[in-house]
Amino acid sequence: MAGTLYLVPTPIGNLGDISRRMADTLAQVDLIAAEDTRVTLKLLNHLGLKKPLVSYYRHNTQTGGEAVLARLLAGESCALVTDAGTPAISDPGEELVAQCAAAGVEVVSIPGPCALITALSVSGLPTGRFTFEGFLPMNRKNRKSHLASLEHETRTMIFYEAPHKLTATLADLAEAFGPQRRITLCRELTKLHEQVLRTTLGQAVEHFAQTPPKGEFVLVVEGGCPPPEEQAGPEQALEEVFQLQTQGLSLRDAVKQVSKKLEIPKNQLYSLALDRSNSQSERHILNVLIQRDITSQ
């Protein structure tokens, strides 16, 4: 029987965030696939564990993935860890999970530290609907077109960024969304110098022009305003009036109800509805007469 792949998150800065289940899983698996074995070795030393380690990083996902999958299919269990945070989230793992799913190997995800969720929850911006954008493309043209595709995004947007690119990225965001758009910059989360800066894109650009950014950042950007609701046209209003009539309302009451709901002047809607129902009944009478003519011939 095939083994199980465990996705084991690791702290994004604070070793106190290691959970009992993470440690137990690392202790119990046959092998650990790690993004950087040196980083994982330090974690294992901290936990007092010794485990066989194999490399699984961005540039060997194909061969590394095949090797891990072969061992899983042979019945071994494996934990996948990255340098920090949740595997497969802007980190290696996505392909391995897909390979396992395709091969029918069970994958268990252990919940734990993740920079984007930590940042979103503390941001003070709407959390109900959000979009995770990860790292923006480095290529200038792709980056511009990606930001243009977010022009009408109304959900809160979350970006990862490296400190040496932060100033340029903030300028691009300010250009794309305007300087007044709110942003929360979450720096060095869970670490000694953790900082949460709630400001606007324009002010953030000014701030980091004077204070060069240091440490790791998650950027949480407010979504844009939804486009104004399209005004309901007379056709839609008439449709609703006739719908209400089929439910038993008089024309007068149906018009009253719809004009209030769609903010259309009552008199205008009433005369439109009268015109339409007159022409409908005229059409009906005409049809009856034609039918009579045909049958009497």
Query: Residues in the site for ligand SAM, rule: CB under 6 A?
Result: 12-13, 82, 84-86, 89-91, 114-116, 160-162, 186, 188-191, 216-218
On whether the CB atoms of residues 105 and 70 are closer than 8 A, the answer is no
CB of 61 vs ligand SAM, minimal distance in Å: 14
CB of 123 vs ligand SAM, minimal distance in Å: 12
CB of 228 vs ligand SAM, minimal distance in Å: 35
Query: Closest CB to ligand SAM among 84 and 264?
Result: 84
**Per-residue tokens: 289:** 């007469």
CB of 225 vs ligand SAM, minimal distance in Å: 27
Query: Closest CB to ligand SAM among 96 and 255?
Result: 96
Question: What residue type is assigned to position 118 of the chain?
Answer: T
Query: Closest CB to ligand SAM among 191 and 276?
Result: 191
CB of 181 vs ligand SAM, minimal distance in Å: 19
For the CA atoms of 30, 34, 40, 43, what is the dihedral angle to 10 degrees? -60
As a whole number of angstroms, the distance between CA 123 and CA 114 comes to 14
CB of 268 vs ligand SAM, minimal distance in Å: 56
C-alpha dihedral sign at 268, 272, 277, 279:
positive
Query: Closest CB to ligand SAM among 41 and 197?
Result: 197
CB of 255 vs ligand SAM, minimal distance in Å: 56
Query: Which residues 6+ apart lie within 8 Å of 27 measured at CB?
Result: 47, 49
Query: Which residue has its beta carbon closest to ligand SAM?
Result: 85
Angle at 275 between CA 272 and CA 279, to 5 degrees: 140
On whether the CB atoms of residues 9 and 56 are closer than 8 A, the answer is no
Query: Closest CB to ligand SAM among 172 and 240?
Result: 172
Query: Closest CB to ligand SAM among 13 and 213?
Result: 13
Instruction: Output the CA–CA distances (angstroms, integers) from residue 33 to 10, 135, 151, 181, in the order listed.
Output: 13, 24, 39, 41
| Beta-carbon count within 10 A of 8 CB | 27
Query: Closest CB to ligand SAM among 133 and 161?
Result: 161
On whether the CB atoms of residues 31 and 7 are closer than 8 A, the answer is no
CB of 21 vs ligand SAM, minimal distance in Å: 17
Query: Closest CB to ligand SAM among 90 and 200?
Result: 90
DSSP assignment string, 222-239: PPPPPPPPPPPPHHHHHH
**Per-residue tokens: 160:** 């990862």
